[in-house]
Structure 1
Amino acid sequence: MSSKLLAFGIAAIVSAGSLKPTSTSELADYFQTSFGPYAALMGELKGPTQVGSAPFLAQTNPAPFGNHPYVPNTPIVTDVPIIGQVDGAEIFKYMGNLSPYMPNPSGFGVEEYPLPPGSNITQMYMIHRHGSRYPTFGDPVPVVYFHTRISELLGNGTRFTGNLSFLNDWKYELGTEELTALGRQQLFDSGVLHWFNYGRLYDSSVPLIARTTTEARMLQSAENFLNGFFGPNWTQNVTLEVLIESSGFNNSLAGNEACNNSHTDRGYVGDGVSTQWRNKYLQQATERFRQSMTSNANWTIEDTYIAQTMCPYETVGLGYSPFCSLFTWDEWLGFGYSLDVSYYGSFGFGSPVARALGIGYVEELVARLLHHYPQPDDDSIAVNETLDDNARTFPLDQTLYLDFSHDTNMVAVLTALGLTQFAEFLPLSDPPLNHQLITSHLVPFAGRLNIEVIKTSRPVLAQRSEQPGDSVYESTGDETIYVHMLMNQRTIPLGRSIPECGQRDDGWCELKTFIKAQKENIVKANYQESCFGDYPVPAYGNITSGAI
């Protein structure tokens, strides 16, 4: 489908400055923000959005857990005792893309420094994942059908005993496709945080355009963030541009939709690998489940994995889940790794299409940094040329760029940016020590990537002195502009992936060097062949560059 297709089909008014209309009919389709026909699409799967049952933690919260010290919920209950748990550790930091938001707890191997005196952040580019959500019809793990599986077993005479006895009366109470209340809070809180961090970059004299997609949770996320950033009258400060998220539409915030091979086995190399890992780490758990049932012959490892996945979903939707304590600490570490290998193989450097999925955003980032419209080669059109060739829908003079996307797309963007720090092969034997592609550190619910452009009066020393009072600047040199990249509030050391940036202890990279590297990465995506080529499905491990 042509990349010139416009986003359309939704029907409410959100506007700012000179874009303010007098009626809905006068508003461009891509600035209309109530739910439309693309709000609940997931590839070719359709399903209505649905809010789950209201939580009732005051009644259902089982804390305190025996002799476990009582910790008030805030608002969800994550202080669940786990067999084999390390003191102070928490399983919700190891739930991959289903983890509630947290700043990266361990960082990316570089120091965090304050801004040098006399330097200034001149621009900030943000790409933000939606907040905690209910399960979707497109999830690779069919959580939405788990209640059918339990009802089938109960109907066949199976009864659950011991720790599983709650399943005899359990009801599925989750919604579908939408943000949970926690998800709305995460985005609002993030908006407040970003206001404190970057509020002074907002220029009220320039109408600000923020972008999201047509899916319900994407609209909800953008609106809650903007409410936190600007307040309840945010529509007076920013216009929300809504891009169609549906198969065949070019959309840099959902790059899979226009990439044919991302919808085939070529685009899901990680899924099969994740299944192999589950079959290894969940053997003992599956046997425990079978021992707590009568007539349990048909209970599978896949059933066990879905039960484990219920824990993060019920927690972010209802506040607490009895499924969490059914698994040991090592089994939760295994759960996190099952998502790491899945994302590595399908959206990271182990995928033949990953760079292609994320390269549209990289093309737009380079264009914004250079203050001109994207200029992709004819065989590398990963952007919507209509929207990205128009000052009204792709402004070039903003100091803040606020985009909202998905976890899969964001991992693909990191791959397209050439961040080889996350390229280490993830074997099925055991997780490598200190591996970097940890999905809970990269794309938890409400994860965010911030790219700061920093102007300094002179070059900043690559190795800053630890002595108080020492200057951080080189003794000579001219004004210099740097890029500083943060993932979930922790610095990504650009020199670790882009050697030309240098091995700086602040992780920065000179802007001209960064742009040059990204222009080269656009070519490395091999967009046309990766997305539309008729090549064999690669075996896991055969692709290590993120492109065919």
Structure 2
Amino acid sequence: MLKLCVAACLVVAGVSIPTDPTVTQVPDYFQTSYGPFAGVTKAGGAPFLAQTNPIYSQPTYVANTPLVTTLPISGEPHDGNIFDWMGTLTPYQPSPDGFGVDEYPLPPGANITQIHMVHRHGSRYPTSNSAISGWAKKIIQYRSNGTVFSGELDFLNDWNYQLGQAELTARGRQELFDSGILHWFNYGKLYDSASKIIARTTTMVRMLQSAENFLNGFFGPNWTDNATLQVIIESTGFNNSLAGNDMCPNAKNTSGSDAVDEWTALYLQKATNRFRNEISGSLNWTVDDTYNAQSMCPYETVALGYSPFCALFSWEEWQGFQYVNDLNLYGNYGMGSPVGRAIGLGFVEELIARLQGQIPNPPEDSIGFNKSLDDSAATFPLNQTIYFDFSHDNEMFSMLTALGLTQFGEYLSPTKPSADRSLIGSHIVPFSATFVFEIIKAPGPVRENRSKHCGESVYENTSEETTYIHLVINQRTVPLGQSISACRQRDDGWCEISAFIQAQKENIVKANYEESCFGNWSIPAYGEIRDGAIPKNATS
């Protein structure tokens, strides 16, 4: 028992400890920091499952699911779930189908020596620029003026808007905490307990919450003993590689929204007509109203656990919703955008610098990062074995564009979705998405076609140490050779680090950063841009 003595001291086990008389003491029964009665503890060894797993299989990451996501949906196949088709509003799931390459364990003698992770924030409430809250006010206003809903829209007669704004929901906090635990199991052994790492996030509330919940899951509640969180200003005009759109004045000069509008008018035409027949009053229900109603489903589900809006739409209409998100990513942040590469360029420049162990030094007309922060070892360390960065869905997709991953850059028609397209937003940047770049050192060159040499050594007949990079998106391998020819068409999707670095140096030039972000050019029509950058000399 602690008791306050007259001379402004604490008596603990008979020993007087001087205290600051100006500081109010927390009673012992409210004290939660470790004290003299905490008991004896000892930390166990750090896991390294990504390396010790005898078969290549990322641990299953399925968060405890209190959400109601099994509603009966018209036309839904037996093995389908609409919550796999909510684009960037999809609650986290490992990529269900992979990215077209087999998964392989580490060969004997090979070691993961470093990881670079970019993590999206978790499930959140709508942002301040979302149309959702305004639409809700509109519905309530028309209802007060006599509009009555019937049929499947009957619930709107009593419905109220309950969503917050921009911060993480409980589900979002859980996603990041669970992700921290998952990646501790995979890579905990890489952490050097003798030094603290610097992790990076931005000043947005949901970004801070995401980083803190992840680090709590990875290190535990005393994570500040292991990591220092660098919080970079996220606002228009500030240089921030984790929010590259804010430092690119032309970031909004894209035409992806034209394709989005064209497709939305097509896929929601039937639903719009269906709902108009269930409304009496002065409300003129439009396609935009239908889209906002559909968007309420994922937002309410991750916030409240259930949404009556989900069952309003058919399986086909949910597939259409997914494609809206895909068109947005492709046309505004991907290979169909004149600034797609530029927005993600800063991260690529930083990744190459870290891989080479040097301060970033791109051409003067291609600096896509905060030079003040990245010129200092105190804020841009080069000796970490683990790097954690936290960013947003659109910016992360632009990072893939800047990396030259053309497998996600096929042209998307605004009127006819391709069933076998590679760009499926819910597979790439759902809530809490992760991009992990593993650096692997092998005692010799690993065979490109492992499947053809089953039962034989996975190594070529030479003992020259070889370093590879392995990209894992949402727990599944991305075959780098599918986009980067120098990486070659390997069974395992890896790429020799020297070939990868050289390819990225070329991609820095392809971004045409200065002209893309600061040039005076006319906005190209949707479909004119196919390589993620404004063409050279496009400035008028």
Whether contact under 8 Å (2:113, 2:439) holds in the other structure is yes
Query: Are 1:437 and 2:423 an aligned pair?
Result: yes
Question: How many matched pairs?
Answer: 472
Q: How does 1:100-499 map to 2 (within 5 A)?
A: 100-139=91-130, 142-262=131-251, 264=252, 266-267=253-254, 269-295=255-281, 298-465=284-451, 469-499=455-485
Partner of residue 88 from structure 2, selected from 81, 97, 102: 97
Question: How far does residue 477 in structure 1 lie from its aligned partner after superposition?
Answer: 4.0
For the residue of structure 1 that corresponds to 2:471, the secondary structure is strand
Worse-superposed segment, 430-439 or 331-340: 430-439
Whether contact under 8 Å (1:464, 1:505) holds in the other structure is yes
Whether contact under 8 Å (1:465, 1:472) holds in the other structure is no
Whether contact under 8 Å (2:171, 2:302) holds in the other structure is yes
State, as a whole percentage, how many aligned pairs show the same letter: 60
Task: Kindly provide the amino acid, as one letter, of the partner of residue 299 in structure 1.
Answer: W
Deviating runs (4+, > 4 A) in structure 1?
none
Q: Which residue of 2 aligns with 1:40?
A: none
Task: Kindly provide the amino acid, as one letter, of the partner of residue 174 in structure 2.
Answer: Q
CA distance in 2, matches of 1:429, 1:436: 17
CA distance in 1, matches of 2:189, 2:476: 21
Relative to structure 1, the CA distance from residue 242 to residue 286 in structure 2 (aligned partners, 3 Å threshold; closer, same or farther) is same
CA distance in 2, matches of 1:205, 1:149: 57
CA distance in 2, matches of 1:203, 1:252: 26
Deviation string, structure 1 residues 235-263 (Cα, Å, up to 9, x no partner): 0000000000001111000001110001x
Question: How far does residue 354 in structure 1 lie from its aligned partner after superposition?
Answer: 1.0
Whether contact under 8 Å (1:133, 1:183) holds in the other structure is yes
Q: Which residue of 2 aligns with 1:51?
A: none
Question: How far does residue 152 in structure 1 lie from its aligned partner after superposition?
Answer: 2.3
Query: Are 1:74 and 2:65 an aligned pair?
Result: yes
Task: Kindly provide the amino acid, as one letter, of the partner of residue 228 in structure 1.
Answer: G
Whether contact under 8 Å (2:147, 2:283) holds in the other structure is no
Instruction: Please give the root-mean-square deviation of Cα atoms over the aligned residues, in Å.
Output: 1.2
Deviation string, structure 1 residues 510-544 (Cα, Å, up to 9, x no partner): 00000000000011111100001111110000000
Q: Which residue of 1 aligns with 2:79?
A: 88
Whether contact under 8 Å (1:206, 1:398) holds in the other structure is no
CA distance in 2, matches of 1:243, 1:426: 34
Deviation string, structure 1 residues 92-119 (Cα, Å, up to 9, x no partner): 1100000000011011100011111110
Normalized against structure 2, the TM-score is what?
Answer: 0.86
CA distance in 1, matches of 2:135, 2:64: 27
Relative to structure 1, the CA distance from residue 478 to residue 169 in structure 2 (aligned partners, 3 Å threshold; closer, same or farther) is same
CA distance in 2, matches of 1:313, 1:489: 24
Q: How does 1:526-541 map to 2 (within 5 A)?
A: 526-541=512-527
Q: Which residue of 1 aligns with 2:53?
A: none
| Runs of at least 5 residues in structure 2 that lack an aligned partner in the other structure | 1-62, 535-540
CA distance in 2, matches of 1:138, 1:219: 19
Worse-superposed segment, 151-160 or 494-503: 151-160
| Runs of at least 5 residues in structure 1 that lack an aligned partner in the other structure | 1-71
CA distance in 1, matches of 2:322, 2:439: 33
Deviation string, structure 1 residues 493-521 (Cα, Å, up to 9, x no partner): 00000011111010000000000000000
Deviation string, structure 1 residues 341-394 (Cα, Å, up to 9, x no partner): 011000000000111100000000000000000002111111111100111100
Normalized against structure 1, the TM-score is what?
Answer: 0.85
CA distance in 1, matches of 2:338, 2:510: 11
Whether contact under 8 Å (1:120, 1:454) holds in the other structure is yes
Task: Kindly provide the amino acid, as one letter, of the partner of residue 128 in structure 2.
Answer: F
CA distance in 1, matches of 2:303, 2:282: 29
Question: How far does residue 73 in structure 1 lie from its aligned partner after superposition?
Answer: 8.4
Whether contact under 8 Å (1:290, 1:297) holds in the other structure is no
Question: How far does residue 297 in structure 1 lie from its aligned partner after superposition?
Answer: 5.5
Relative to structure 1, the CA distance from residue 205 to residue 117 in structure 2 (aligned partners, 3 Å threshold; closer, same or farther) is same
